[in-house]
Copies of this chain bind each other. A is one copy, B any other.
């Protein structure tokens, strides 16, 4: 049995992850830490369970874990990653701390000096379907952001194939668990119910550099990005509607050929048949990314849906853990 430890257990991501790990046939949780709720049980915060005793971060023995999952806030994960690696654990970081390979870029978007820049070079960006070769050797996996996961899965193969040109418009809509569990005015039921809230339009969201970095890995001439997130009155799920101008000579059939080539054998990625669009109902409570594509006016209109807490966070983290330790990637995830 793999011994897993969790830092940051009471946020939505930590809770979802603990639920997955407790049902995982090859994993045993050795600790679940929480700075705010140490001494209590996770079920007190989430009455639907699971039960999991919570310990103080200071009391954790990192060396007892084969793998440490970091679900702490951005900026707080890097020091824990360092300590966990020194203690001999593999690390899967669900924060943003190791997603951007350049510490200056990190600083400009997250406002703090990176606490462990020396680890950046060896961190693997864990979009599992694209990181498989590197995962078995990875000491440190940077689990991708939720929006980027929904956007990169359809875009990476198309950019790599040279199918796109010009600026890609990404209009994303996210459930409110993506905003975290700390109570805030705009995430209150009475404010969000019957509402829809765009925010950080254009190039203002921290996921923009993350997406651009990955697209640049796929092509020396990646398309530009406009990214418009919206807060939806739903608990979970992301739907990204992506408008990607096609390069000369591309049509829907060719796009489908590329996407099928990339994902036909993937358990967690599905291309819908012509005419179908992805909806949240396709993916909520599953680790799948479901995508539809149609071409209009020389532009690919891609709908890509994930569950932000699963494929967009905890599910992909477990998928990554499975890959790191040589297990069947689907174990404990479906």
Contact = CB atoms under 8 A, between A and B. Distances in A.
Interface string A224-243: 11101010111111010101
Contact of A167 (B202, B228, B286, B297): B297
B296 A47 contact: no
Interface stretch (A130-138, A191-199, A311-319, A324-332): A191-199
Nearest to A305: B196
B297 A48 contact: no
A207 interface: no
A206 to B, nearest CB: 15
B169 A284 contact: no
A297 B199 contact: no
A234 B226 CA distance: 26
Chain multiplicity (copies): 4
Interface stretch (A70-78, A121-129, A141-149, A173-181): A173-181
Interface in A143-179: 167, 169, 171, 173, 175-177
Interface in A87-132: none
A77 to B, nearest CB: 23
14 contacts: A47-B279, A48-B286, A49-B286, A173-B173, A183-B184, A187-B189, A188-B188, A189-B189, A189-B191, A190-B235, A194-B280, A196-B279, A198-B277, A224-B297
A69 interface: no
Interface in A247-284: 277-284
B194 A194 contact: yes
B277 A194 contact: no
Interface string A32-53: 0000000000000011110000
A203 interface: yes
B226 A297 contact: yes
A173 B174 CA distance: 13
A12 interface: yes
B169 A243 contact: yes
